[in-house]
Structure 1
């Protein structure tokens, strides 16, 4: 299997974590100026030219969530990515959407504002990111107070780890969300996630808001 992406990309992390955690053989194909053929393949394979994209012989899977679902369905080592119990499976899929849409997606508002105009980012977009992230953080904090986060490594882990890593760079997890802060630390300590953090380290200067001197 070949996974196309970039080691600094949050959604590439989401696709990489299950391969690392489940020890599934694959080849990572970097999308950068040194590998134009990889970029050309992604542009052809994905409806919006985005990565990650997985190619498994004649099968092409786009979108990180679908890639994880594919690994869970086709790889014996990846069976635990989606719980066998239907209600537990619903929970990890729900959390996947929460972290993608309301954590990573909301953080991206601020990132996009800085990409568009680094010197004068749109204050409305910055405020929307801050407000939206704090709301999402507190929802997850409350959820963690009443539920147990699914066992690692599941689809929920794969979504939460990169989302919380980068979102915390945009808007720090506040002190009134200790469970969420603890979850972030727990996720970053997982070997599969730590590997992504280290592989991305050379590219931190790319972060539009300026990468903090931590993590």
Structure 2
């Protein structure tokens, strides 16, 4: 098998790449990386000096592709299937990338800030930073609520790169800042994402590891 994805089943950015692979039933070999294992960490760093996953290795093309957004675009160009993640139309492609950046920067990153703060030692937490992250999530939720007023996917009728970013961001985001009654369109969109075959598979495979997710103190 040409493609190998180096990943962890709880990592939200890894979910993003996995959704794209499962959308088109793209054959690949999964390689679960335990960053706590020095040998496995060293092997990942050898592939991608930053030492973060996901990383896609394509032996057939002799390419190493890091970063979830780049992995999905690489798959779209070289292993395309029934789901196209980035439209051919230049203007719509730009809007799709913008929407994907929105989910990564303004939903995923504040969510991650809150999650990681829960792992800090007692007395080392950052309550101000956490409250700022919660405020950002509430602002982002309100924007998504308006965007999803007509239903569908992040860019309308077609599932795209933006939805690959939205699914993990909203899954973990809802754990740290629930959507609430004011965000019914957002909640309905999240239910559509969970029902999508590709994301449902990601969730099923991650379920045995959910006890490792840091909970609120």
Q: Above 0.5 in TM-score?
A: yes
Q: Aligned equivalents of 1:145 and 1:113: distance in 2?
A: 33
Q: Secondary structure of 1:126's match?
A: helix
Q: Aligned equivalents of 2:207 and 2:158: distance in 1?
A: 23
What is the match of residue 50 of structure 2? 48
- Unpaired runs of at least 5, structure 1: 211-215
What is the match of residue 143 of structure 2? 139
What CA RMSD, in Å, does the superposition of the two structures yield over aligned residues?
Answer: 2.3
TM-score (norm 2): 0.89
Q: Does 1:112 align with 2:134?
A: no
Q: Aligned equivalents of 1:135 and 1:181: distance in 2?
A: 15
Q: Aligned equivalents of 2:158 and 2:34: distance in 1?
A: 31
Q: Which moved more, 1:132-141 or 1:34-43?
A: 34-43
Q: Does 1:126 align with 2:133?
A: no
Which residue of 105, 110, 118 maps to 1:101?
A: 105
What is the match of residue 159 of structure 1? 165
Q: Aligned equivalents of 1:65 and 1:113: distance in 2?
A: 25
The one-character-per-residue Cα deviations of 1:104-154 (angstroms, maximum 9, x if unpaired) are: 101111112111136873321221221110011111212233796324531
Q: Secondary structure of 1:32's match?
A: coil
Aligned length: 211
**Deviation of the 1:77 alpha carbon:** 1.2
Which residue of 26, 29, 32 maps to 1:30?
A: 32
What is the match of residue 84 of structure 1? 88
C-alpha spacing 1:183/1:119, structure 2 compared with 1 (3 Å): farther
Tell me if structure 2 keeps the 8 A contact 1:144–1:180: yes
C-alpha spacing 1:91/1:25, structure 2 compared with 1 (3 Å): same
**Deviation of the 1:45 alpha carbon:** 2.6
Q: Aligned equivalents of 2:37 and 2:160: distance in 1?
A: 31
C-alpha spacing 1:63/1:33, structure 2 compared with 1 (3 Å): closer
Q: Secondary structure of 2:30's match?
A: strand
- Unpaired runs of at least 5, structure 2: none
**Deviation of the 1:9 alpha carbon:** 0.8
**Deviation of the 1:34 alpha carbon:** 9.4
Bigger proportion of residues as helix: 1
**Deviation of the 1:92 alpha carbon:** 1.4
Q: Does 1:168 align with 2:174?
A: yes
Q: Aligned equivalents of 1:153 and 1:111: distance in 2?
A: 28
Q: Which moved more, 1:103-112 or 1:121-130?
A: 121-130
